Amino acid sequence: MKYKVRATSAYKENNMIDLELNKIPDEGEEWVVDALRKDKLCGENDYNVVFAKVIEEIKEAEDIKIKEDEEQVEEKEIKEAGKTKKGMKSK
């Protein structure tokens, strides 16, 4: 999963260059990161500083495909269960 993050003022206050962006992001600047990078930017770092906040989770195509497949299987099972009940003969 990917995440859209927004820079806090911590980059400028601590005069920290983001090595992936190769610059000091402005407060409010947004970009996309992976889960590990998100954790580091949100405070799980050596400085215990929140450099960015998550503003959106971005579902990747693979995640969406899995969810669609699960929904299709569920719909098929519901349809098959309905046919079985209708097709049964009562004694």
Does pTM surpass 0.75? Answer: no
Report which of residues 10 and 76 the model is more confident about: 10
Mean pLDDT of the chain: 83
Distances (CA, A) of 80 to 30, 72, 73, 76: 47, 12, 10, 6
What pLDDT is recorded for position 29? 97
Span 54-82, pLDDT tens digits: 999 988 766 555 555 566 656 666 667 66
